[in-house]
Structure 1
Amino acid sequence: MQEIKDAVWEAADRLRGSVDAMDLPEYVGGLIFLKYVSDTFAGNRSELRARLDTEGYDEDRVEEMLEDREFSDKSAIWVPRNARWPYITARTATLHVGEVINDAMYATMLANPTLRGALPTIFGRGTADQERLAEAVALIGRVRFTSTEEGPAPDVLAEAYEFLLGRFGGDSRTPRSVGQLIVGILEPYGGRVYDPACGSGGLLAQAATFMAAHQGGSGDSVVYGQEINERTWRLARMNLAVHGVVSDLGDRWGDTLAHDEHPGLNADFVMAHPPFGVSDWARNEDDPRWTYGVPPPANANFAWLQHAVSKLSERGTAGIVLANGSLSSRSPSERRIRQALVEADLVAAIVALPGQLFHSTRIAACLWVLAKDKPADHRDRILFIDAHDMGTMVSRTERVLDDEDLAKITGAYHAYRNERGFCFSAGLKAVRRHEYDLAPGRYVGATTQPRALTKDLYGVFN
């Protein structure tokens, strides 16, 4: 993975100055997409060739069958001849390498209807410097996208996208361990999954992977999403395509709070990590989504929560990551909405998350779990989980939730149990007594030992 990140960084650095910095994720992301699908296609062809040779076909017939889509994996992306990496690299010495890449993008979209409009076609002359573009092609050509100990090949590609976006396009990703937590709590075994702020598609890919694993690997899940940034919307479509996920991210990119691309959707699961602290958002006081109160103009937290509720089916559940301010803000309008959500018995659980999980901000965050139809013994109760001191530092600036942490949090949620200093199932009377302040620390009680400090020290001395 580090080799891939190094190549991605060098390719972006080579193009920098030749193209706008905000366009770098699309240029480099497009190249690594072509390299990935070409590597995967070549690997599939090698396996098919070996099988055909074993079955006794002569060479001419084997070559014919390799180019016949009827014999290929129908779920895989078909790569036309002029989009295969060897074809592209053989033509990088020309002054028209950008047109070669554009032609490859068009051919791939034509051959794969789910990719229509998803791939960038910005490589022609008059945009990037063609010599630098050829150098970037050579750098990306050094790596091979295959499964590693760190994850399957599609996940490796997704991490490369996330690295790109984090460095050059703003951080639109949900950390993998946070995604695992949301999926582990919601357990989307089947149905419609929706992310209204899908970024590069990481959460949807994790949900679809979970569904496929629990449906016997059928791989026929459909996920829905929306993304405000055009470049990130394209990357999300590419990311989901290489995961073999059938997705509907709307006809185009757009602001979910201003214009919903999925107005008739009733989702079984809503999962989202919307941007923190959005102010001056597209606020319409007459919007029918504001069932529990009109969110204030200075913060979109309760717009995202109510949008999620509006999308849930009668038995749907949602997991929404927000800044901790959403739990205890004293703004009158936010407090009223928080109270209304609690009194409507929509809040199933609140999880206080540790700091330094998110690359783009040090703001403390939490996970809201909403449910339209709670089990009978959970009604009029909220489970509070205080995980703020969990996780392990994997670098000076990044903390992750490991498998043990994830198992502890998701286990507590599904058991709906009490554990002093960690989790507590509080009735509505207790919540009213705390004036609808939902910070878990108010409910779970004190713990005698800081978990994260203990874990970090254990790592130092062992």
Structure 2
Amino acid sequence: MTDQNEQEFLNNLEKKLWTSANKLLPSLDASQYKHVMLGLVFLKYVSDAFDIRRDELKAQFTNPKHDYFIDPADFDDDADYQTDIAAELEGRDYYLETNTFWVPPVARWQFLRDKNKVVIGGAELSIQVKNRTKKIKISSVGHLIDSALEAIELDNEKKLKGVLNKRYTQLQIDQAKLCELIDLISTIPFRHKSLSSKDILGHVYEYFLGQFALAEGKKGGQFYTPKAIVSLIVQMLEPYKGRVYDPAMGSGGFFVQSEQFIREHQDRKTKQSSGNLEISIYGQEYNHTTWQLAAMNMAIRGIDFNFGKEPANTYTNDQHPDLRADFVMANPPFNMKEWDTGVDDNDPRWVYGRPPSGNANFAWLQHMLYHLAPNGSMGLLLANGSMSSNTSGEGDIRKALIENDLVECMVALPGQLFTNTQIPACIWFLTKNKNARTAASGRQLIDRRNKVLFIDARNLGYMKDRVLRDFTQNDLNKICDVYHAWQTGKDYEDQKGFCSSANLTEIQKHDYVLTPGRYVGAEDVIDDGEAFVDKMARLTAQLKTQFEENDRLEAKIKKNLVGLGYEI
């Protein structure tokens, strides 16, 4: 968690960047602007990380106590000594050993800053790509940026092949605006007394993703899940170690939050670095540009990932067919239609019933269950209809899931949480093993067989603007604490209007409907001792008095306006 000073620093930075960037690129719509801005943020990050490692190496080369020390006594003069150090600083292996991207000279930020105004109108530059120097005609600032992205991708093919969006040359905008944008992003500081460059630029990247999702509206929701919802699922599942999978990953928000969760909760005695996290990341995404956003999102944070060979349809081209994940988290498209073209009716994933063609909700759920390890846990967002619908066999699938004791917890969410839909949503938490055992977090779980926890969170959160609702950290903690208390049997109690633990018999009485409101009941109303009849009479009289006062004030205002010469 960031402290107050760090948060203030980040808030000021993001406000400055967003306001300035909007002034520079008014002609681009959000879907284009997104890639322009995020591609440059990525270049800035890898270059900054490279420079930090370069400074570390230079200090090591000149430190007699370090293994990398280069003794000046071995050289005839200082010029030869400095030349040798400069050559060593270009040694690729020094950077790869600390998981730092090797950045070729043409892709370094200082090169872009120095050359971006030179190339307007065309300039011939000597650049080095894969140890070969060649002269090429750079025709525009967009061409300069594309050349930088291409060079860094060629030099880091294993991690970045097909990831970077090299389309700056095609942008129909004033090249001088791109120059100004480079100068603007140059102001992003990568040194802070307590925040690392990865923390700062990772925050900027995530902030811009959220802003673009808002700007794109419904379309933007395809790549972005609100941070509070992602954080809630991650905090409830606690993915400390193991394989983490998202079959509808968008821009990779669940992976980012998983990594941050571990970093914030890791044992400080071990001082385990984020580079040695005991989780493996697996994801899949159909949209090519969103797949690229996710890969850049991981690369900016130094997270290793496996997103398959290519962007692909989860149902017809599963990129991880043999994966059995310890944690599965997803926010798939709600109520997706015509999802099953090319999908076999007897697909082995449909263990609990063939999902209807008109709605993919239970297809996503069963796909995730298919990829879940025997002791794994999963959480996914679905439309509220999934909790009660009996259309086209959905009720039978839900019944089978309950009878097979796979459902662990249901959370009803408040409305207006999403940028792209007003459809009410819920979170399903499922597991294949409710027996007493030790979780990955170290929690000692009790036997929860044939029991389901219901949480009604519809009254939590606050309106952060006129359109969107958000959760506070206290809201998230309230939900997570109840869930973990129920799992461990420590200090759990049903709370009317908020949470209830129900057994299979109770769920059967409700015809296998999983809507939390049916189980938690209504919150107790405090009895103020006043009889209902008396209270209604008092409130009615009070309302009548207020109406009369309103009429009196309205008449007075009209009279004053007429006195001033205005006609009413």
TM-score by length of 1: 0.88
More moved, 70-79 vs 57-66: 57-66
1:367 aligned to 417, 427, 436, which one?
427
- Verify the 8 A CA contact 1:222 1:245 in the aligned structure 2: no
1:406 aligned to 456, 476, 493, which one?
476
CA-CA distance at 1:274 after TM superposition: 1.0
Q: 1:39 to 1:398 in 2, by over 3 A?
A: farther
CA-CA distance at 1:69 after TM superposition: 3.9
- Verify the 8 A CA contact 1:189 1:211 in the aligned structure 2: yes
CA-CA distance at 1:220 after TM superposition: 5.7
Letter in 1 for 2:281: V
Residue 37 of structure 2 is matched in structure 1 by 28
Residues 1:124 and 2:169 aligned together: yes
Q: 1:92 to 1:334 in 2, by over 3 A?
A: same
Cα separation, 2, equivalents of 1:192 and 1:237? 17
Task: Give the structure with higher Rg (CA).
Answer: 2
Aligned counterparts, 1:212-223, within 5 A: 214=266, 216-217=272-273, 218-219=276-277, 221-223=279-281
Unpaired runs of at least 5, structure 2: 1-9, 73-80, 121-139, 437-446, 487-491, 527-568
What SS does the corresponding residue of 2:519 show, helix, strand or coil? helix
Residue 76 of structure 1 is matched in structure 2 by 100
Residues 1:152 and 2:175 aligned together: no
Residue 200 of structure 1 is matched in structure 2 by 251
Q: 1:118 to 1:388 in 2, by over 3 A?
A: same
Residues 1:182 and 2:241 aligned together: no
- Verify the 8 A CA contact 2:434 2:448 in the aligned structure 1: yes
CA-CA distance at 1:157 after TM superposition: 2.1
More moved, 157-166 vs 343-352: 157-166
- Verify the 8 A CA contact 1:203 1:271 in the aligned structure 2: yes
- Verify the 8 A CA contact 1:146 1:152 in the aligned structure 2: no
CA-CA distance at 1:144 after TM superposition: 3.3
Q: 1:256 to 1:129 in 2, by over 3 A?
A: farther
Letter in 2 for 1:155: H
More moved, 303-312 vs 53-62: 53-62
What SS does the corresponding residue of 1:29 show, helix, strand or coil? helix
CA-CA distance at 1:9 after TM superposition: 6.1
2:405 aligned to 342, 345, 349, which one?
345
- Verify the 8 A CA contact 1:199 1:236 in the aligned structure 2: yes
Residues 1:170 and 2:170 aligned together: no
Cα separation, 2, equivalents of 1:227 and 1:4? 28
Q: 1:258 to 1:70 in 2, by over 3 A?
A: closer
- Verify the 8 A CA contact 1:194 1:267 in the aligned structure 2: yes
CA-CA distance at 1:200 after TM superposition: 0.6
Equivalenced residue count is 449
Q: 1:165 to 1:66 in 2, by over 3 A?
A: farther
Letter in 2 for 1:288: P
Residue 298 of structure 1 is matched in structure 2 by 358
Identity of aligned residues (%): 41
CA-CA distance at 1:146 after TM superposition: 6.0
Residue 14 of structure 2 is matched in structure 1 by 4
Q: Which has the higher contact order (CA 8 A, sep 6+)?
A: 1
CA-CA distance at 1:370 after TM superposition: 0.6
Residue 41 of structure 1 is matched in structure 2 by 50
Cα separation, 1, equivalents of 2:295 and 2:525? 45
TM-score by length of 2: 0.72
Residue 447 of structure 1 is matched in structure 2 by 523
- Verify the 8 A CA contact 1:226 1:256 in the aligned structure 2: yes
Residue 416 of structure 2 is matched in structure 1 by 356
- Verify the 8 A CA contact 1:11 1:135 in the aligned structure 2: no
CA-CA distance at 1:160 after TM superposition: 2.0
